[in-house]
Amino acid sequence: MRPLAQGGVNARLKYWGQWLVNTVGFDGYRLDFVRGYQEDFITDWIIYMPRKNGNVQRYVVGEYFSSNKARLKAWVQALATRGADADVFDFPLKYTLNAMANGTSSSFDMRTLNHAGLVRDNTGNNLSGLDVNTFVENHDTGKDHNQWIFKDWQMAYAYILFAEGRPTVFYPHFYGVTQQGDGGFTTTAPASLRNDITNLINYRRTFLDGDMVVNSETGNPYPIENTANVYVARRRDNSSEYQKKGGMLVLNNHETDTKCLWVDNAPAGSGYTNWYGERWLRDLTGRMPDAEIATDGRVQVCAPPRSYAVYVPFSVVPSRSARRTARPAGLSASLTPAPSAATTRPRRMIASRRTSSFRTAQSSPRAVTSCGRTPTRARTTSIRATA
């Protein structure tokens, strides 16, 4: 037996962790049930693991199964003060997404998303997106049917694959595997969800970076009553380093109606670039018409019922010509002009009959960081330590 494998449980777990990297080829770790053992032990174990090139610590995420934001933040910070970097699963966000996807336009107010989860928290328990692993389902919640999302999965994935955080895709959702739960309960995501996830990952890689602002909260939304059904958020651009222009997400939880909202594309005080110079935004999903940005920065964006749209500036989408004034059938009633401080002249939503030539990804998704970067393909393992 090798010297490192001799001794007590601590030494053997360190040997096993190194073996997973050096022999099997794992790139990171998922630590199980971290609320059940000491932060000192976890830190010591993480520090002992093989480093990556450049003396960089390998990715570590801890399963702290709790919706208590203060406890989750305290665990991340406890490791950081001891010299180890570990993410935590965002269970509070998971349960908010459950309420949105499983609920109705009557039972769930979309304004609940404004400060949902750990990254957007405004009660003093927020964490950086680089410290948070967001998810729609994982093996911890996938075992119990009362924890599941069982409909409208695409809305939840649109949120986590757009927003800050390190999003995780649940294998059964992507590959259409039927979930088996307690009491004989089952659920299967539709085959279309794989296309949604693949495209959303591609949008993230190509366009999104930096922090996020909620336009339907701070962007003078109009009509204000629509914010109960429509959520609008924008990711910051990073054109200097990654040539990413950012994007705007629109989520609509109404059952039957396409819903729209007028917002400031760059809310006052946000420091975001005003997209007026772009003049036009295009929905990458192809379901919504192109949106014209008014001189005061106002823009009307829409999403189909129980679905989403992702708008980006025309300049980053090929074929920016061919603007036509015809509107898609069924949208005319929703596309209403909004008054603004700068002008009361109506602005039109212009539909383009040309489909975007932006190509969607055909390959399986890889892990994506909160900055939109795609790291090398990583495999993770789970560890539970015993005293």
Q: What is the pLDDT of residues 41-69, one digit of tens each?
A: 999 999 999 999 999 999 999 999 999 99
Q: What is the mean pLDDT of the chain?
A: 84
Residue 269 in this model has a pLDDT that exceeds 80: yes
> pLDDT-based confidence at 74, cuts 50/70/90?
very high
Q: Which residue has the higher pLDDT, 117 or 339?
A: 117
Q: What is the model's pLDDT at position 324?
A: 34
Peptide bond between residue 223 and the one before it cis (omega within 30 degrees of 0): yes
The superfamily (CATH) of domain 3-207+370-383 is Glycosidases (3.20.20.80)
315 pLDDT higher than 90? no
Provide the whole-model pTM.
0.83
290 touches 349 (CB < 8 A): yes
Residue 58, SS3 per DSSP: coil
Taking the CB of residue 68, how many other CB atoms lie within 10 A of it?
Answer: 12
Whether pLDDT at 328 is above 90: no
The pLDDT value recorded for residue 159 is 99
* pLDDT value for 344: 31
CB 208 within 8 A of CB 370: no
Helical spans, DSSP H, in the chain: 9-19, 39-48, 69-81, 91-102, 153-162, 171-175, 192-207, 215-218
What distance in Å separates the CA atoms of residue 123 and residue 330, rounded to the nearest whole number? 41
- 79-93, 231-245, 336-350: which has the highest mean pLDDT? 79-93
Domain positions in the chain are: 3-207+370-383, 212-350
Q: What is the DSSP letter of 56?
A: B
Tokens representing 62?
């801890």
Beta partners for residue 311, in sequence order: 248, 283
Q: 212-350: CATH homologous superfamily?
A: Golgi alpha-mannosidase II (2.60.40.1180)
pLDDT digits (tens, 9 = 90+) for 297-306: 999 999 999 9
CB 25 within 8 A of CB 49: no
Q: Please, are residues 229 and 105 in contact by the beta-carbon 8 Å criterion?
A: yes
